[in-house]
Amino acid sequence: MYTHASMGNRLKVAVAGANGYAGMTLVHLLARHPGVELTQLTSRSFAGQPYSAVFPLLDIAGTFQPELEQKGVDAVFSCLPHNVGAAKAEGWLSGGARVIDMSADFRLKDAAQYPVWYKQEHPAPALLPKAVFGLPELHERDLKDAELIAVPGCYSTAAILALAPAAAAGVIGSDVVVDAKSGVSGAGRSPGISTHFSEVNESIGAYAISGHRHLPEVTQELHVLSANGVRVTFVPHLVPMTRGILVTCYFDLKGSLTELQETYSEFYDAQPFTKVLAQSPTTKLASHSNLCLINVAAQGQKAVVTGALDNLVKGASGQGVECFNIAFGFGRTTALESPVQWP
């Protein structure tokens, strides 16, 4: 296993696409990482401008580049748009860097699924077998030697973590319905009519009812865990708040509620960031943290499992840093421990 100890000095890390919400969150986390030297930040829209134009409160010096220089970089975090980073990943890997991809480009194992969900052929299908799905609760062992890591989406992270223990134990007694809600930052920083303040404020609505892009990630991972397969109906909603994901998952109980609760507690007992709570979690309780908070309850014979996380941290950049820590031999919680901000 490749570890940071063999490097002597801090690892040289680059962030491609550092001016989006995921990239900005990532830079703030990496700037406080004791084993990281941020050597390059790229942004086409801020190219030539100092880092302080985007990060006025961080003590990091440098100028945004339009493209990444491959030499001398140990790790690249790619926060580029879907289908953009995939075309660059081979070059970064060939240059000796390990790649943590924050987009959807390497999450699905089947190249034939990309035209279905992303309306484009995959630009680098030969890399798909190399990619490790970056959900540490399920894939920590594989992440230790991974050269290419595909960090899962925010919705899929919450839904998978809310369902994984039940799927693995074979105690889901029916098809699963996932009601999911997200803050507006999940749509990214680029302006659009659907995320305009006047459109979103004081309103809530469902979207992608025929199928959201994160659904195949959920079914892919649950099918690995479940011997009988799990069928999922997933409906997302946009909520007029800045950040946060809440998923409420419904399925028929197999066995008692107490047994289901014990299954979840045992599954996540050694996990530093996924916590099983006695009460239903709120998004604010997980805000600005790398936590995923789970509650297991029931209404009659229907299990009701809720999960809450911050879509920009555990649902994106925090999980990326968590994967980076595992891959390079750092403590898994390095740069990710922070006091709970409540209320």
Phi–psi pair at 295, nearest 5 degrees: -130, 140
The whole-number average pLDDT for the span 5-26 is: 86
What is the model's pLDDT at position 190?
81
* CATH number of the domain within which 52 lies: 3.40.50.720
Q: How far apart (Å, rounded) are the C-alpha atoms in residues 17 and 45?
A: 9
Same-domain check for residues 168 and 96? no
Residues 275-303 have pLDDT tens digits of 999 999 999 999 999 999 999 999 999 99
Q: How far apart (Å, rounded) are the C-alpha atoms in residues 213 and 9?
A: 40
Residues 221-231 have pLDDT tens digits of 999 999 878 99
Residues 72-102 have pLDDT tens digits of 999 999 999 988 999 999 999 999 999 999 9
What is the model's pLDDT at position 339?
77
Tokens for 276, please give them: 């099983």
Domain annotation covers residue 131 = yes
Same-domain check for residues 9 and 87? yes
Same-domain check for residues 133 and 273? no
Q: How far apart (Å, rounded) are the C-alpha atoms in residues 87 and 206?
A: 33
Domain annotation covers residue 240 = yes
What percentage of the chain has pLDDT greater than the value 70? 98
What is the model's pLDDT at position 151?
98
Say if strands 232-238 and 274-277 run parallel, antiparallel, or are unpaired. unpaired
Q: How far apart (Å, rounded) are the C-alpha atoms in residues 323 and 136?
A: 7
Residues 189-218 have pLDDT tens digits of 788 888 889 889 999 999 999 999 999 999
Residues 125-181 have pLDDT tens digits of 999 999 999 999 999 999 999 999 999 999 999 999 999 999 999 999 999 999 999
Domain annotation covers residue 341 = no
Residues 309-337 have pLDDT tens digits of 999 999 999 999 999 999 999 999 999 99
Residue 114 clears pLDDT 50, i.e. is over it: yes
> How deeply is 229 buried, as exposed, middle or buried, from its count of CB atoms within 10 A (0-12, 13-18, 19+)?
exposed
Same-domain check for residues 241 and 268? yes
Q: How many domains does the chain have?
A: 2
Residue 5 clears pLDDT 50, i.e. is over it: no
Q: How far apart (Å, rounded) are the C-alpha atoms in residues 10 and 244?
A: 32
Listed residue (2, 4, 5, 290) closest to 143, CA to CA:
2
* CATH number of the domain within which 194 lies: 3.30.360.10
Listed residue (127, 89, 84) closest to 109, CA to CA:
127
Residue 82 domain boundaries? 4-152+314-328
Read off the pTM: 0.95
Residues classed as catalytic: 154
Same-domain check for residues 318 and 287? no
Domain annotation covers residue 343 = no
Question: Is pLDDT larger for residue 308 or for residue 187?
Answer: 308
Residue 4 clears pLDDT 90, i.e. is over it: no
